[in-house]
Amino acid sequence: MRVGGADQLSARSLQAVLFDLDGTLLDTAADISLALNRALAEQRLTSLPEAQVRVLIGRGVPGLIERAVARLAVAGESADAGLLLERFHFHYERIHELDEIQTRVYPGVVAGLAELHALGLSLAVVTNKPKKAAVGLLTRFGLSQWIDVVVGGDSGMHRKPHPQPLLSACGELGVRPAQALMVGDSLTDVLAARAAGLAVVCVPYGYNEGADPRALACDAFVESVGGLPALLTVADRPSA
């Protein structure tokens, strides 16, 4: 445990937990890769392996497209970024419409969300993904039953790492930032939480734009979301 100390990670003092979506609750890289490569193919550009796409994910779809265009430029290929962004959204929606979804729920997520809900905590998802897509995935995988609020990247607010979407989620949940915890997998999540005044816990998997999540300066790590309830209740126990 790092900066926040036990008090900030105590189920007794917390009222809400905010979660990132991609790379934290859901592994969405396969679908993102498929949509991106279909958009690239329309411009007769080289496709990118899923392993490469994983390191490009972060800060929303505009960030993904920006990094993909830069990657192609290194190889001497020129892409229309605006068209690529537009067509990515088209193909990503089509993947959902055609039920080609390969997204999966990370191990421990279902049990972790259920237990946090049972502890009386309000739960939210704060993502740079469009809200409709986020809600659709949460519903598809049965996670929406525990999620009280979803803030998407198309809300008209700043996207993470700006604190605004986290503060908006806290406002909708009726809690102060000091009563909430952010859980994520990237520097974007950590920066947003710090700026909003929330404690932050990280998972060691996910994307983090290709950097090792274990190097993130968060308050604590959990191997999976399933380990979060134990972390919060351990913080409640008096030290020997």
SS3 content of the chain, % helix, strand, coil (to 5): 50, 10, 40
Annotated catalytic residue within 20, 31, 189, 219: 20
Contacts of 201 (CB under 8 A, 6+ apart): 9, 181, 182, 183, 218, 219, 220, 221, 222, 228, 231
Helix or strand (DSSP H, E) at 18: strand 16-19
Rounded to whole angstroms, the Cα distance separating 203 from 28 reads 16
Kindly give the residue spans of alpha helices, DSSP state H, lying in 125-205: 131-140, 164-173, 187-196
* Residue 117: half-sphere exposure toward Cβ, Cα within 13 Å: 14
20 noted as active-site residue: yes
User: What six digits make up the tokens of 51?
Assistant: 């392993």
Catalytic residue positions, numbered: 20
